């Protein structure tokens, strides 16, 4: 896959990130980016009352040293962390194989991953390959949930800001994320997260979590990311002008 972006693409990405910072600053919120996923793990463990589980795709205990290329994003108000999400980079020829063979989630004590026993090979899944940014483990702490921050909830920023940075820093071809059936049926993955496709890939026991889940892979390709970025840039620009 091509790894180049035009100067215009890069200018729009930088402008969007700067505007997002300005809009969040109106609410005294600052975005911090941290490449140490052990610190994310500490935060997620500290707030297990609001994080349903530790998502294994970003858990450094489940991946050999150096194998996990990732980072996490914190939204801060002063010294308080009010929300966060994670992101990782995978380079592959066939993303389905990462899902089917459990490679995305590693294994206990960084051992071999467990293939998905309930893997669904759905032909409607787009051909995800190349440089893939995978996002997830998003948490918004109460009482920050459901509030409007210049036209958007915090989950909108937790998706759009990392996606723009993945384009800029990693030149991704795709971005992906996972949801369960309830979220897929609700449509939040398209309405809020901005993904353009949603495909069931696992039913029954989801081995990485040891829980019964129907799990869907959301995806958005580069062309759609750039088109969406232009729309988001216009929306944030209107917020700044008000």
Per-10-residue mean pLDDT for the chain, 242 residues long?
80 95 94 97 92 93 95 97 97 97 96 96 96 97 87 93 97 97 92 95 95 96 96 84 66
Residue 1: inside a domain: no
Residue with the two structure tokens 């088109």: 227
Domain of residue 83, CATH code: 3.40.630.30
CA distance 51 to 165: 24
The count of domains in the chain is 1
The structure's pTM equals 0.94
CA distance 136 to 118: 21
Which residues constitute the domain of residue 210? 7-241
Handedness of CA 18, 24, 26, 29 (dihedral sign): negative
What are the start-end ranges of the H helices in the chain? Answer: 7-25, 37-46, 95-100, 154-165, 181-186, 188-191, 222-241
Residue 2: inside a domain: no
């Amino acid at each position: 896959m091509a790894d180049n972006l035009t100067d215009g693409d890069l200018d729009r990405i930088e402008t969007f990130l700067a505007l997002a910072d300005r809009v969040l600053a109106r609410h005294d919120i600052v975005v911090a980016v941290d490449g140490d996923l052990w610190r994310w793990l500490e935060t997620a463990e500290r707030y297990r009352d609001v994080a349903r589980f530790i998502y294994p795709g970003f858990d450094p205990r489940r991946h050999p040293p150096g194998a996990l290329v990732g980072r996490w994003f914190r939204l801060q108000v002063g010294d308080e962390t009010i929300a966060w999400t994670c992101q990782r980079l995978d380079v592959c020829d066939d993303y389905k194989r990462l899902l089917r063979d459990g490679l995305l989630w590693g294994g206990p004590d960084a051992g071999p991953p467990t293939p998905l026993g309930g893997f669904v090979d759905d032909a409607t899944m787009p051909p995800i390959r190349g440089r893939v940014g995978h996002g997830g483990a998003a948490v918004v702490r109460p009482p920050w949930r459901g509030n409007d921050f210049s036209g958007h909830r915090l989950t909108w920023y937790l998706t759009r800001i990392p996606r723009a940075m993945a384009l800029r820093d990693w030149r991704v071809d795709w971005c992906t994320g996972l949801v369960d059936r309830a979220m897929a049926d609700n449509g939040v993955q398209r309405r809020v997260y901005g993904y353009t496709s949603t495909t069931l890939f696992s039913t029954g026991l989801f081995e990485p979590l040891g829980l019964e889940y129907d799990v869907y892979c959301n995806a958005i390709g580069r062309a759609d990311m750039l088109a969406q970025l232009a729309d988001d840039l216009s929306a944030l620009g209107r917020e700044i002008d008000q």
